[in-house]
């Protein structure tokens, strides 16, 4: 079954693949970001490595589900990732042209888009500007009759990330689109994280056991990975070390707590490739840097190469700057 669409209308239904999500720059240390830049260092690396790369349409994933645009024509794949993930999807749509020729579309994306028509690459539009939609006009070469259009959409997900596509027809001759059918893609609900303060409560009440073990493992995992929001887990680890050192947990675990604290990234000037939000959580990062420096004054912190007493002094200046 097909339906016509005319100038000014957006394509509304696409066959879509499952998402292919891969950790990005998991083991990349990198340098500290430019404090004046509004972009994360992680995104700068991503744009350099992914914007101009070649994509083979022969490797397209099966498009077995249906995705439907909203009333404004926006096909939304936005989401949240606490760690940097490269997320890719393949889409396809079948267009019916009244005659052979070129037909103009306005392509809008948060992410990067590549478009093939009848197997030929027509557009490569990869601005990768986080959470800002960019537009480019493209001309699709269509044969008379039915044409398969294949689309590759990808983006670096860092924290709350807008990702999607909008294709508006801006030419005059009416086209047709084959109405695709199939299961509609569903969004998964986000899972609420355990409270970092819960472990401190258990330790203060001497309620040791499996729950405390699981909570410590959870905190260590988040802080070691430098997840977004992990600074609050780090603060709990610092208080755990300060108030409960040598209690209950084995010495090997306490050594891991120390190495995790020393290996953390406390500011955008320190080395690391992650998506932590230093601006909105500035007070928490300064407090963590100050306390960590106090607890380990003679230890070297890996991401900054500073000693603890230097970290503490720097944090004190930053705290004064925030309070001024």
Tens of pLDDT, residues 186-222: 554 444 777 889 999 999 999 999 999 999 999 999 9
Mean pLDDT of 234-263: 95
- CA pair distance 226, 262, nearest whole angstrom: 12
Domain locations along the chain: 2-178, 196-323
pLDDT digits (tens, 9 = 90+) for 108-136: 999 999 999 888 899 999 999 999 999 99
Statement: residue 35 has pLDDT above 50? yes
Query: From the DSSP assignment, how many helices (H) and strands (E) are in the chain?
Result: 7, 13
Is the pLDDT assigned to residue 159 strictly greater than 60?
yes
Question: Residue 109: which of 146, 82, 78, 140 has the closest Cα?
Answer: 78
Angle between helices 210-225 and 230-244 (to 10 degrees): 130
Please, which residues bridge with residue 22 across strands?
A: 86
Does the global pTM surpass 0.85? no
Residue 29 has pLDDT above 70, yes or no: no
Fold of 2-178: Jelly Rolls (2.60.120)
Res. 260: pLDDT tops 70: yes
**Which residues are CB-neighbours of 57 under 8 A, at least 6 positions away?**
116, 119, 121, 150, 152
Reported confidence tier of residue 30, pLDDT bands at 50, 70, 90:
low
Please say if the pLDDT value at position 19 is more than 70.
Answer: yes
On whether the CB atoms of residues 304 and 263 are closer than 8 A, the answer is no
């Amino acid at each position: 079954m097909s339906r016509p669409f005319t100038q000014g209308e957006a394509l509304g239904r696409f066959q879509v693949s499952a998402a292919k999500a891969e950790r990005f720059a998991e083991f990349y240390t990198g340098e500290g970001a430019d404090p004046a830049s509004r972009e994360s260092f992680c995104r700068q690396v991503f744009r350099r490595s992914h914007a101009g790369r070649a994509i083979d349409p022969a490797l397209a994933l099966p498009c077995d589900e249906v995705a439907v645009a909203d009333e404004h024509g926006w096909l939304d794949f936005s989401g949240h990732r606490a760690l940097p993930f490269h997320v890719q999807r393949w889409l396809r749509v079948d267009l019916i042209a009244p005659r052979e020729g070129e037909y103009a579309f306005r392509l809008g994306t948060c992410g990067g888009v590549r478009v093939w028509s009848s197997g030929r690459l027509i557009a490569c539009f990869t601005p990768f500007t986080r959470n800002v939609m960019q537009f480019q006009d493209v001309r699709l070469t269509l044969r008379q009759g039915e044409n398969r259009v294949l689309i590759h959409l990808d983006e670096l997900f860092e924290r709350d990330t807008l990702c999607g596509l909008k294709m508006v027809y801006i030419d005059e001759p009416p086209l047709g689109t084959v109405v695709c059918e199939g299961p509609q893609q569903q969004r998964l609900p986000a899972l609420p994280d355990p409270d970092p303060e819960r472990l401190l409560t258990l330790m203060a009440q001497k309620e040791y056991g499996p729950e405390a073990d699981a909570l410590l493992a959870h905190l260590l995992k988040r802080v070691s990975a430098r997840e977004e929001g992990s600074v609050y887990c780090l603060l709990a680890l610092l208080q755990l070390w300060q108030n409960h050192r040598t209690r209950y947990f084995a010495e090997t675990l306490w050594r891991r707590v120390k190495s995790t604290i020393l290996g953390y990234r406390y500011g955008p000037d320190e080395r690391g490739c992650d998506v932590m939000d230093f601006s909105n959580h500035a007070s928490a990062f300064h407090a963590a840097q100050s306390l960590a420096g106090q607890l380990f004054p003679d230890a070297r912190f890996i991401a900054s190469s500073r000693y603890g007493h230097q970290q503490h002094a720097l944090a004190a200046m930053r705290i004064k700057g925030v309070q001024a």
